[in-house]
Amino acid sequence: MRSAKINRRGALLGAAGAAGAVAALPGVTQAAPGGVPTASGHLYDIGSGKHQVVVGGVAASMLSWKADGQEMLLTHDPDDVGEGYQGKTILPWANRIDHGAYTFEGQELQVAINEPERDAALHGLMSFVEWSPVHHRADSVVLEHVLPPDYGYPFQLAFRIEYRVDDRGFSSTLSATNVGRGPAPFGTANHTYLAAAPGTRIDDIALEIPADTHYVVNDRLIPTGTAQVEGTDYDFRTARPIGGTKMDTAFTGLHHSGGEAVVRFGRPDVDVELWVDETHRYLQVYTDDDPSTDRPGRAGLTVEPMTLAPNAFVTGDGVIVLQPGQTHTGSWGYRLAG
C-alpha cells in the first residue's frame, strides 16, 4: 500500500458544526415544506456562464451538468435514489472488496456484503450519507462529512469536497484527513455518467482513453491480473467509436501530461473531456449495458476517476495509507473541448 501525498492540516473539519446551516445558505433547494430534503439530500445549484450544475448532499453527488441548457449527464430525478451509483462520490474505497474481507497491518477485517450476487462489498460506506454544507456561492459549493469508525472499518476520516463551475465546465476537489489515532487505508472514486447525445446511444461516441493497461477479471468482476490493451477491444488510446464494445473494465497505466490525463468523448453533437490529476491513476469504464430500471441500455457511460484499483483493500494496488493528521487531496472534472 502506498503512502499519500501529504498536506498537513491543523484542525478537525467542522462537519458537525455545519450540520444545521442548510436553511441559511442561499440557493439550497428543498423538495418539500418544513426543510425535508430530497432523496438525493439537499440540493445546491451553482453555475457560471453557460454551465449550470446541481449537486446533491447525499454522497456529495453530481446530479446535473447543463451546457447551454442541454443536460450532459445520464442522471435521475433528485426524488429518486437513482440506479448504478449515478453521480456519487465513492468512499473510503472504490469498486469491490472480494468477500468483503481484507487485512490491514495484521488486523483481519470484515465489511458488510452489499453485492450478494458477487459476494462483494461494493463502493465503500458513504453512498447514502448526507454531507453537511460549509459554504455555497454562485459558482461553487463545499460540503464535508466525518466518517466514524465501525467494526469493519475502524478508522476515522474527515472529508471535504468542493465543486466549482467555470466557463468550460466543472471540477471536483476532494480532501481526506485522518483524524483517528492510527494509520488508515483509503481510496476514492466518482460515478458520474456522461449521457449519449439526444436520440443516440453511446455506440456513436468516439472514445479516447490514455491507458496502456486493463484489468482481467473473473466472473465476479474481481481482478485476476492485468494485460496490455494493445490488440484488444479495450485499446482506445486513439479515438474510435465505442460501437458494440461492452465494458465494466478498469484501466491503469494512464498517460498524464501537464499534470492531467484526459479522456475524450466525441459525441455527434459536442466533444467533451474528462480530466483527472496525477492522484487518479485508475479509471473504471462501464457502458451501462444492463440497467435495472426501465431506462434504455447504453444511454450513457461512466468513466470513474479512481485513486486505487478494484479489490485494492485486498491486494494493496493503489491504496493510500493516511497517517494520523495527514491529508490527501485530488481533483478531476468535466469540460467542453476546445
CATH of the domain at 182: 2.70.98.10
- Phi, then psi, of 142 in degrees rounded to 5: -120, 130
CA 176 to CA 256: how far, in whole Å?
23
Looking at every residue in the chain, the average pLDDT score rounds to 91
pLDDT tens track for 41-63: 999 999 999 999 999 999 999 99
Which of 10-19, 240-249, 283-292, 294-303 has the highest mean predicted lDDT (pLDDT)? 240-249
For the chain, give the percent of residues with pLDDT over 90. 86
Domain count, the chain: 1
What is the pTM assigned to this prediction?
A: 0.90
Domain carrying residue 323: 2-336
| Residue 266 buriedness (CB in 10 A; 0-12 / 13-18 / 19+) | middle
CB 208 within 8 A of CB 306: no
Closest CA to 201 of 245, 146, 257, 142: 245
pLDDT tens track for 151-186: 999 999 999 999 999 999 999 999 999 999 999 999
